[in-house]
Structure 1
């Protein structure tokens, strides 16, 4: 998974200070309000997350402006980052469903076309 869509970025467009919390929210799919709230709570209780925030702000790359085509693509990639195996299972199930529907269309077409059925039987 070396796609730019599976990389953690800082989201300057939706961010307040450096965009780190907005980037983490985009990466995980969690609402940015909750990420900021947790970051503030950790900063006030421990202190070191303030330094981690600024280090991440300098290390992380800025999010490309056109990383996703639309919101459904963004939700898909957030699901991939959260659980790649579940996403792979969902895609396999979707392909199985498409294959089943295609087989039903083929069966309908072949059964309603006796000449095609005879040709298929002749080839066997």
Structure 2
């Protein structure tokens, strides 16, 4: 999956959209990011959390108008996402996950083939020089 760009999401945000933007970036639910910020605030890092939030509000740009449509293609499934609310059937969600796992398995096979090859040993020896 290609990494998306980090933008603030003031449309879905409560204050300035920093948590919503982080949730879009990491493809997780917004409430989870908000819980993390609030927990860090309550557990003694109040000044640091406020400073970080204010800095992120000033440094991160607002998301473009067509940004949501462009990332939906990349985020076919999310952590803690309910497929029936997204409009995706459980079968299609399982097919998507199976496709992703198949791609990961191919990458692991390629990596194993490289690590067990003579080329890896030669590259390793050159790096150690």
Q: Of the two, which has the highest radius of gyration?
A: 1
More helix by share: 1
What does residue 103 of structure 2 align with? 90
Secondary structure of the structure 2 residue equivalent to 1:13: coil
Contact 1:68 1:74 in 2 (8 A): no
Cα drift, residue 62 of structure 1: 0.3
TM-score between the two structures when normalised by the length of structure 2? 0.53
Secondary structure of the structure 2 residue equivalent to 1:63: coil
Secondary structure of the structure 2 residue equivalent to 1:8: coil
Contact 2:4 2:71 in 1 (8 A): no
Gaps of 5+ in 1: 79-86, 94-124
Q: Hey, what's the Cα distance between the residues in 1 that align with 2:62 and 2:71?
A: 19
Alpha-carbon RMSD:
3.3
Deviating 4+ runs (over 6 angstroms) = none
Q: Hey, what's the Cα distance between the residues in 1 that align with 2:26 and 2:71?
A: 14
Cα drift, residue 69 of structure 1: 3.0
Contact 1:43 1:49 in 2 (8 A): yes
Gaps of 5+ in 2: 79-99, 107-129
Cα drift, residue 74 of structure 1: 4.2
TM-score between the two structures when normalised by the length of structure 1? 0.55
Larger relative contact order (Cα-Cα within 8 Å, sequence gap ≥ 6) = 1
